[in-house]
Structure 1
Amino acid sequence: MKSLSALFFFILSVSIHAQSVNGIVNDGSGKSLSEVLIRDLTSKTHAHTDANGKFTLEGVEVNDSLLITKKGFSPQKIKLASFDFLTISINEKPFLLEEVKISNNLKYLNTISKIDFEIQPISNSQDLLRKVPGLFIGQHAGGGKAEQIFLRGFDCDHGTDINITVDGMPVNMVSHAHGQGYSDLHFVIPETVDNIDFDKGAYFVDKGDFTTAGYVGFNTKNALQNSSISFEGGQFDTFRTVAMFNLLNKENQSAYFAGEYMMTDGYFDAPQNFNRINLFGKYNAKMENGDRLALSVSHFKSQWDASGQIPDRAVNDGTISHYGAIDSNEGGNTDRTNFNLQYDAKIDENTHIKSSAYLSKYDFELYSNFTFFLNDPVNGDQIKQKENRTIVGFQSEYDQKLNHNWRFKFGAGLRNDHNKDVELSHTLNRKTVLEYLSLGTVNQTNLFSYSSLDFTAGKWLVNGGLRLDYFKFGYEDQLSATYTNQTQTKAIVSPKLNFLYTQNDKLNYFLKLGKGFHSNDTRVVVAQKGEKILPETYGADLGINWKPFPRMIVNSAVWYLYLAQEFVYVGDEAVVEPSGKTERKGFDFGFRYQLTNWLFWNTDYTYTHARAIDEPKGNDYLPLAPKNTLMNGISVKDLKGFSGSLRTRFLGDRPANEDNSVVAKGYCITDFSVNYQIRKVSIGVNIDNIFNTKWKETQFLTESRLANETDPVEEIHFTAGTPFNARLILKYTW
């Protein structure tokens, strides 16, 4: 009885004295921080901050010692003086790779992304895409056209086989005037990007159309720590300025505005007369109940002239230089206005609903000449591609942690593209339309839903999911003598199954299996009467993430990808071409090493074997599919005010045709950047191609005819890569 009485009085004493305390954790600028660990060193209880930086710590007493920790921030210990609401501030500390843990996260490349984003500078929108290990880009229209993308043995054109989003809003354009999946990322101001979510393959149910080689999701900052303005000037009459204004930064609200203007004549013989303006504003609010609202508005406008792709023979015989042009009337203009709303609702501690809705208005006009005088010996072969598009869509995801072992997700959404007056025409000097080759209105709708279930048991994580996509394609042919509105519908089911075994915080293994797809152009769909128009892929990844030493991370994978029969709409010719079954297999290797507190080394190598399945051996090469790629960099961060990097990218020789008798030559280019911070002022220098290598950034095997030729010639046509290009950057922050 005495022992029971003592136990009763002990429990009563604890219940009288032990209480809970509420609080919020911010960084040095007042921005709230999520996923902060608060531990009571006395009672051994702990809590984490939510998305709004708030926490509730149970079972504490006055004079208890609390330890506040978060990766990337200096730990702080405080003594609890009362049960009043706590406001705690912790400061960032130098990045240490030894603090990065190998976790049970299927999206392992996000860990690599955070490291690269932390230590490597981003100086332009091209650098954003180059953050994806193994992804290469090429520009072939003066800087205004979307980049050509290469990933995992895919010549993704301008985005056909890679899904790209910004704050959940799609960048890929379906049934685009220039090509399926066209992804122009130039409306993003690089300085506004907070993090990058990416992975390779089609293994995640929330990623749908175009997710074959992989996906990239850019997320913009919710708040600015400071306001800033920068000026950049350099060779080739290049000028760029970026202004970022912190309009509001309170405990539960933030707002900022960013603007960018850029102009350059480029390094080509014919001035590019390029200019671009970007405007971006974002408002973020945190509700008392834990909900979060974000609203962003942006506007982008760009125009340019271009030298296009030039034939080897014209350079070799001295007709034009390596940076010359056959038709200097190429170029174009484009603009895009976006409204994006994101709302995250907190139902309870284990249940959230994440929603987004967007509206985009997009205009595009491009003038190109790939064949010169092949089809029209008198006027030339210049073409115009034009469209006027409106995109609306939304997506919601229900996420519930059922218990310690199970987590369930269900999502659904819609996207509609109304693309008015999609035009391909034969033109003269950008002024006169000689012939309409294609003209019509596209209306395409994608309805989708998905669900996934995570099961965690000990060191194992098993993720299974199923995605359903339904498409309605509509095309009104305006060149038809009578009104015709052709429609087709199609659905596709995409299962996923992933396994992750985390041995400890230094090593895990993964196996990913999944089916993906990309939609075909609506004009293909109606021409093929809905047959074979959602070509599917089947893929598998087997790999590891490993920390052999505290300051080293190695990630590698062997993978396989099968792509089914498809029909491709060639936007430059208004024809439908069949493309057979293909397979790609390869090896990815990534390496991150922190040599000192301020010196970092990163390497990414990929090998790909890409072949057509139904073609005879020796005639089964996939044109322009990369075989060997390597990216290597040394970066300095915060060395007595200095930061910078030396980065090299290598793209090996690759076949330019099916029998590999013509080769697209590879290149090896090194870029350099350095920056020095003096209180509120920083001065920097960026140099592209420091060794002034003469290289071909994009290459195509094309049949063309010059004005003085009687017969056409098929050979490599290319766009020259940048020569040595230096720019000075001044930035003031307040």
Structure 2
Amino acid sequence: MKKVLLAMGLLSAWQQLLAQQPADSAHTQLKQIVVSAPRIEKAMMHIDLKKIPVNTAQDLLRKVPGLFISQHAGGGKAEQIFLRGFDCDHGTDVNISADGIPVNIVSHAHGQGYSDLHFLIPETVESIDFGKGAYYPEKGDFNTAGYVNFATYDHLDNSLIKVEGGSFNTMRLAGVFNLLADKSAAKRNAYIATEYNYTNGPFDVQQQFSRFNLFGKYNQWLNDKDYISFQASTFTSGWNASGQIPERAVAEGLISRWGSIDPTEGGNTSRTNAALTYRHQASADESWQSFFFYSRYQFNLYSNFTFFLKDPVHGDEIQQKDDRSIYGFEQQYTHDYTVGNSRLTWQSGAGLRLDDIQDLELNHVYRRDTLLNRLAWGSGRETNLHAYTGLTWHTGHWRINPAVRVDHFIFNYQDKLKPANGDPGVTATRVSPKLNFSYSTGSIAQWYLKTGMGFHSNDMRVVMQQNGKDILPFSAGADLGVVLKPVPNLLIQPTLWYLYLQQEFVYVGDEAVVEPSGKTRRLGVDVSMRYQPVKWLYLDADVNYANAREIGQPKGANYIPLAPVLTSTGGIGVNLPMGFSANLRYRYMKDRPANEANSLVANGYFVNDLMLAYTHRQFQFTVQAQNLFNINWNEAQFETETRLQHETESVTDMCFTPGTPFYLKAGVSVRF
């Protein structure tokens, strides 16, 4: 009897302890998701952000189910992105934005659509909106495999200071400061955030990576109908890089796994953004929004992919420079109508983006300082005018959404190595229709069929070489899926998808460029699962399969290099009593072809990370262990023709950047 009473007492104590979980955890539950809601991915991502901690800008991208990234140039370069059977390079086939500001850089010095998210401070990000495929009329250039938009907080309840340190001489300081103490009015909000990062990394050549970020935001309701928001951010970073190293150099003992062939790789970059939003609520059914943005961007990168293949004396190091200003404007109009027992929403928009490129360079250099040869040098302007309109008709269990988008491009490029007088420029137009259906069966399931066309633009230098032909390759695709919620705390979303692309981009290692090739098709299956059996336990898993092939090539020679085949991410999150929490995360990528014949393979990996936290009043203490089991894995991999200094002939093999080894970081933060 005493044992029974003791057990009952322990159970009662455990229930009381569970009731003491942090308020944020208690109020963020999977059962809150409504299956019949549109864009359910955004609601699911909101839960993920609350349940799974984020610490870096890279972690933010990894939040998107099925999206993988790899870093191969010292931490300061934009990540390589993989999504839905695409090696998106640094963003060619995924449209990325932050608070509506485009992140993708067109006609970039390193790669088309280059997307550097390092200006984002993770503690300022409130939500992530994403969509796979090209079914969204408000998304334009680069929206083929999908889109991602990060939204920062408009309002803060408190301020935050965080200090972190860890392996490889890593240090991070972050602060978010609420500038307005009057929380009751909720009419005005203002805050600033700052971040400083430093690390040497695990490599023999110390990265000496440093980055400084500053962000500020102000918003106010001017009256009951008018709202205004202004934000500004700036960041600058510099680093050294070990680069990609040949497998044979490690196997022969010439360098260690953490060594380098050219120790002078690296770079520096900076970006400053400003944006102004004005919204007018004309009535309960009608609203306008105007959005203006400006970015000042600079980039300077030193790389050596082929070592001594072209220049056996000085080596093949290249310098890529980019210096530009970006101007943009978006106008959106929304009107809701009630027609009988149905609802109709009409949304239209128009805008422009102008990239004023002062300097675009590709140079052959020696140890960064000596210019040996200018390989490309120019300036130019690239203008994108666009408009879209769409209807969403909601009647009964059905939601039908037809839409169309039109993009018009004007390319003007001045080649400083081959000056031409009176260059008229090149223009091109792309029309992208969309048609989406969904059918909801109450609170249990929502079936959907999404169809549409998208596109990605080409680099202006390719546009000039092609004389304007085939310069806006289109995609056409469809998603057939269902969102299932058989019980309130279980969400399952399987999707079958297909995507055709008029033109593909393939990495060419010996030139360190991306070139167009033929038509491709991709088909696959995505499955997402979220399960919260009790309030303190959160389970998630995403499994993604893609079959990607070139069209018109013989079987066995039609593989798409580096296209992901099978990927999965997921984990277990536990919010324990008295402020303790733990998250065990995994990410898996299967072996994939490294060339068209699949004769070389990019090795897959299975990596685990563990995050522990203890929260007491306004303080939080964290410990992170990345690559928990200290496996050897290759983060970036390429088939590349290279020659080392002692070799008489070139060799084509795999070059790679090793993934981070076991890495421990601890931190403390205080809210006030």
- What TM-score does the superposition give when structure 2 sets the normalisation length? 0.94
Q: 2:377 aligns with which of 433, 439, 442?
A: 439
Letter in 1 for 2:34: K
Q: 1:289 aligns with which of 224, 232, 256?
A: 224
Give secondary structure in 1 for the equivalent of 2:461. helix
Match in the other structure for 2:119: 187
1:564-643 correspondence to structure 2 within 5 Å = 564-565=502-503, 573=511, 577-637=515-575, 639-643=577-581
1:246-325 correspondence to structure 2 within 5 Å = 246-250=178-182, 251=185, 252-325=187-260
The answer as to whether partners of 1:551 and 1:595 remain within 8 angstroms in 2 is yes
Match in the other structure for 1:67: none
- State the percentage of identical aligned residues: 51
Letter in 1 for 2:474: E
Match in the other structure for 2:5: none
Does residue 102 of structure 2 align to residue 170 of structure 1?
A: yes
Deviation at 1:586, TM superposition (A): 0.1
Which range is displaced more, 632-641 or 565-574? 565-574
Does residue 633 of structure 2 align to residue 698 of structure 1?
A: no
Deviation at 1:637, TM superposition (A): 3.0
The answer as to whether partners of 1:424 and 1:574 remain within 8 angstroms in 2 is no
Give secondary structure in 1 for the equivalent of 2:476. strand
The answer as to whether partners of 2:607 and 2:631 remain within 8 angstroms in 1 is yes
Match in the other structure for 2:353: 415
Match in the other structure for 1:709: 647
The answer as to whether partners of 2:288 and 2:331 remain within 8 angstroms in 1 is yes
Q: For the residues of structure 1 that align with 2:347 and 2:227, how far apart are their CA atoms? A: 19
Q: For the residues of structure 1 that align with 2:512 and 2:31, how far apart are their CA atoms? A: 55
Does residue 87 of structure 2 align to residue 149 of structure 1?
A: no
Match in the other structure for 1:659: 597
Match in the other structure for 1:351: 286
The answer as to whether partners of 2:504 and 2:520 remain within 8 angstroms in 1 is no
Match in the other structure for 2:264: 329
The answer as to whether partners of 2:306 and 2:509 remain within 8 angstroms in 1 is no
Deviation at 1:405, TM superposition (A): 2.1
Give secondary structure in 2 for the equivalent of 1:348. coil
Q: 1:729 aligns with which of 642, 662, 667?
A: 667
Q: Cα distance 1:469–1:253, how it changes in 2: closer, same or farther (>3 A)?
A: same
Any idea what the Cα deviations from partners look like across 1:28-73, whole Å, max 9, x if unmatched? xxxxxxxxxxxxxxxxxxxxxxxxxxxxxxxxxxxxxxxxxxxxxx
Does residue 28 of structure 2 align to residue 95 of structure 1?
A: yes
Q: Cα distance 1:576–1:271, how it changes in 2: closer, same or farther (>3 A)?
A: closer
Which range is displaced more, 363-372 or 350-359? 350-359
Any stretches of 5+ residues in structure 2 without a counterpart?
A: 1-18
Letter in 1 for 2:43: T
Match in the other structure for 1:370: 305
Any idea what the Cα deviations from partners look like across 1:567-626, whole Å, max 9, x if unmatched? 779798487844100000000000000122111000000000000011011100000000
Deviation at 1:501, TM superposition (A): 0.2
The answer as to whether partners of 2:291 and 2:331 remain within 8 angstroms in 1 is yes
Q: In the comparison of the two structures, how many residue pairs are matched?
A: 645
The answer as to whether partners of 2:271 and 2:295 remain within 8 angstroms in 1 is yes
Q: For the residues of structure 2 that align with 1:350 and 1:367, how far apart are their CA atoms? A: 53
Letter in 2 for 1:149: I
Match in the other structure for 1:47: none
Q: For the residues of structure 2 that align with 1:539 and 1:111, how far apart are their CA atoms? A: 24
Q: For the residues of structure 2 that align with 1:451 and 1:693, how far apart are their CA atoms? A: 50
Any idea what the Cα deviations from partners look like across 1:424-468, whole Å, max 9, x if unmatched? 000001001100000000210000000001111100000000100
Q: For the residues of structure 2 that align with 1:101 and 1:269, how far apart are their CA atoms? A: 51
Deviation at 1:93, TM superposition (A): 4.1
Q: For the residues of structure 2 that align with 1:496 and 1:561, how far apart are their CA atoms? A: 14
Any idea what the Cα deviations from partners look like across 1:275-300, whole Å, max 9, x if unmatched? 00000000010122232211001110
Match in the other structure for 2:145: 213
The answer as to whether partners of 2:510 and 2:640 remain within 8 angstroms in 1 is no
The answer as to whether partners of 2:401 and 2:436 remain within 8 angstroms in 1 is yes
Match in the other structure for 1:498: 436
Q: For the residues of structure 1 that align with 2:421 and 2:661, how far apart are their CA atoms? A: 52
The answer as to whether partners of 2:344 and 2:392 remain within 8 angstroms in 1 is yes
Q: Cα distance 1:636–1:447, how it changes in 2: closer, same or farther (>3 A)?
A: same
Q: 2:627 aligns with which of 675, 681, 689?
A: 689
Q: For the residues of structure 1 that align with 2:665 and 2:67, how far apart are their CA atoms? A: 25
Letter in 2 for 1:369: N
Letter in 1 for 2:157: Q
Give secondary structure in 1 for the equivalent of 2:491. strand
Q: For the residues of structure 2 that align with 1:204 and 1:95, how far apart are their CA atoms? A: 28
The answer as to whether partners of 2:98 and 2:149 remain within 8 angstroms in 1 is yes
Any idea what the Cα deviations from partners look like across 1:615-674, whole Å, max 9, x if unmatched? 011100000000000112001236320123100000000000101111111000000101
Give secondary structure in 2 for the equivalent of 1:116. helix
The answer as to whether partners of 1:385 and 1:424 remain within 8 angstroms in 2 is yes
Deviation at 1:96, TM superposition (A): 2.3
Deviation at 1:149, TM superposition (A): 0.2
Q: For the residues of structure 2 that align with 1:577 and 1:453, how far apart are their CA atoms? A: 38
Match in the other structure for 2:362: 424
Q: For the residues of structure 1 that align with 2:544 and 2:652, how far apart are their CA atoms? A: 30
The answer as to whether partners of 1:490 and 1:530 remain within 8 angstroms in 2 is yes
Q: For the residues of structure 2 that align with 1:357 and 1:722, how far apart are their CA atoms? A: 39
Letter in 2 for 1:626: P
- What TM-score does the superposition give when structure 1 sets the normalisation length? 0.86
Deviation at 1:307, TM superposition (A): 0.1
Any idea what the Cα deviations from partners look like across 1:244-267, whole Å, max 9, x if unmatched? 111015321010010000000001
The answer as to whether partners of 1:609 and 1:627 remain within 8 angstroms in 2 is yes
Q: 1:672 aligns with which of 610, 621, 624?
A: 610
The answer as to whether partners of 2:33 and 2:44 remain within 8 angstroms in 1 is no
Which range is displaced more, 687-696 or 485-494? 485-494
The answer as to whether partners of 1:179 and 1:571 remain within 8 angstroms in 2 is no
Does residue 446 of structure 2 align to residue 508 of structure 1?
A: yes
Give secondary structure in 2 for the equivalent of 1:126. helix
Letter in 2 for 1:440: G
Any stretches of 5+ residues in structure 1 without a counterpart?
A: 1-73, 75-89
Q: Cα distance 1:435–1:149, how it changes in 2: closer, same or farther (>3 A)?
A: same
Give secondary structure in 2 for the equivalent of 1:455. strand
1:374-413 correspondence to structure 2 within 5 Å = 374-403=309-338, 404-413=342-351
The answer as to whether partners of 1:231 and 1:729 remain within 8 angstroms in 2 is yes
Q: Cα distance 1:637–1:394, how it changes in 2: closer, same or farther (>3 A)?
A: farther
Q: For the residues of structure 2 that align with 1:385 and 1:165, how far apart are their CA atoms? A: 24
Q: For the residues of structure 1 that align with 2:632 and 2:667, how far apart are their CA atoms? A: 25
Match in the other structure for 1:22: none
The answer as to whether partners of 1:175 and 1:442 remain within 8 angstroms in 2 is no
Give secondary structure in 1 for the equivalent of 2:544. strand
Q: For the residues of structure 2 that align with 1:92 and 1:312, how far apart are their CA atoms? A: 46
Match in the other structure for 1:130: 62
The answer as to whether partners of 1:556 and 1:587 remain within 8 angstroms in 2 is yes
The answer as to whether partners of 2:306 and 2:510 remain within 8 angstroms in 1 is no
Any idea what the Cα deviations from partners look like across 1:496-539, whole Å, max 9, x if unmatched? 00000011122110000000000000001111011000000000
Q: 1:360 aligns with which of 295, 306, 324?
A: 295
Deviation at 1:687, TM superposition (A): 1.1
Q: Cα distance 1:436–1:230, how it changes in 2: closer, same or farther (>3 A)?
A: same
1:468-483 correspondence to structure 2 within 5 Å = 468-480=406-418, 482-483=420-421
The answer as to whether partners of 1:305 and 1:331 remain within 8 angstroms in 2 is yes
Q: For the residues of structure 2 that align with 1:498 and 1:595, how far apart are their CA atoms? A: 33
Deviation at 1:92, TM superposition (A): 8.5
The answer as to whether partners of 1:520 and 1:567 remain within 8 angstroms in 2 is no
Q: For the residues of structure 1 that align with 2:99 and 2:515, how far apart are their CA atoms? A: 34
